[in-house]
Amino acid sequence: MDVQKRILIINGVERAFVCNPEKDSLADVVRRLGLTGTKVGCGAGQCGSCSLLLDGKVVRACIKKMKSVPEYASVETIEGIGTAENLHPLQQAFITYGSVQCGFCSPGFIMSAKALLSENPNPSRQDVRDWFTKNMNICRCTGYKPIVDAVMAAAAVMRGEKTMDDITFKAPGDGRIYGTDYPKPLALTRVLGTADYGDDVALKMPHDALHLALVMPYVHHAEIKKIDFAEAEKMPGVVKVLTAADVKGSNRMLAPQGIVRKYADGKERPVLCDKKLFRYGDVVAVVAARTREEARAAAAAVKVDYKELPAYLNYVDATAPDAAEIHPGTPNCFVEQPLLKGENAGEIIDRAKYAVEGSFSSTREPHLPIEPDAVQAYPTEDGVTVLCKSQFLYGDIAFMADAIGLPKDKIRIAMNHAGGSFGYSMCAASYAIAAVCAMDLRVPVSLVMSYPEHQHFTGKRSPSYTNARLACDEKGKFIAMDYHTGIDHGAYSDFAGALTSKVCRFFGYPYQVPNIRGLVQTAFSNHNHGITYRAFGSPQAYTASEQLVDMLAEKIGMDPFELRYINVAQEGDLCTNSVPYRWYPMKSMMDTMRPHYEAALERAKKFGEPGKKRGVGLAWGGYHVGKSPDHSEIDIELNPDGSVTHYNTWQEVGQGGDIGAMVHAHEALRPLGLKPEQIHLVQNDTATCPDTGSSSGSRSHHVAGMATIDGANQLIAAMKKPDGTFRTYEEMKAEGIPTKYRGVYDSKWADLDPDTGHGWGAMGQNYCLYLAEVDVEVATGKVKVDRMTLVSDIGKVGSYQSVLGQAWGGFSHSLGFALTEDYDDVVKHATMAGAGVPKCNDVPDDMDVIFHESEHPDGPHGSTGCSESYQSSGHVAILNAIANATGARIYTLPAKP
Can you tell me whether residue 81 is helix, strand or coil? Answer: coil
Answer whether 272's CB lies under 8 Å from 203's CB: no
Answer whether 676's CB lies under 8 Å from 709's CB: no
How many other CB atoms are there within 10 angstroms of residue 317's CB atom? Answer: 17
β-strand partners of 180: 799
C-alpha span between 838 and 840 (Å, rounded):
7
Residue type, 585: P
Helix axis angle, 89-96 to 106-119, nearest 10°: 130
Can you tell me whether residue 184 is helix, strand or coil? Answer: coil
Answer whether 327's CB lies under 8 Å from 429's CB: no
CB-based contacts of 586: which residues, under 8 Å, 6+ apart?
A: 510, 568, 569, 570, 620, 767
Which is the catalytic residue, given 76, 371, 821, 868?
868
Answer whether 315's CB lies under 8 Å from 463's CB: yes
C-alpha span between 201 and 214 (Å, rounded):
19
Answer whether 789's CB lies under 8 Å from 596's CB: yes
Q: Which of 858, 866, 868 is nearest to 799 (CA)?
A: 866
CB-based contacts of 542: which residues, under 8 Å, 6+ apart?
A: 506, 619, 620, 621, 872, 873, 875, 876
C-alpha span between 399 and 390 (Å, rounded):
12
C-alpha span between 382 and 809 (Å, rounded):
42
CB-based contacts of 328: which residues, under 8 Å, 6+ apart?
A: none
For the chain, the distance separating the N- and C-terminal CA atoms, rounded to the nearest angstrom, is 48
Strands (E), 794-897: 846-851
| 868 flagged as catalytic | yes
H-helix or E-strand containing 351?
helix 345-351
Residue 699 CA, chain-centre distance (Å), reads: 14
Q: Which of 521, 466, 515 is nearest to 489 (CA)?
A: 521
Q: Which of 550, 562, 542, 563 is nearest to 767 (CA)?
A: 542
Helix axis angle, 560-567 to 586-606, nearest 10°: 180
β-strand partners of 212: 288, 447
Answer whether 400's CB lies under 8 Å from 431's CB: yes
Q: Which of 532, 449, 531 is nearest to 269 (CA)?
A: 531
Residue type, 687: A
CB-based contacts of 139: which residues, under 8 Å, 6+ apart?
A: 105, 109, 147, 370, 840
Q: SS3 letters for 445-480? A: EEEECCHHHHHHHCCECCCEEEEEEEEECCCCCEEE
C-alpha span between 431 and 453 (Å, rounded):
15
Q: Which of 773, 790, 789, 769 is nearest to 878 (CA)?
A: 773
Residues tagged active-site = 868
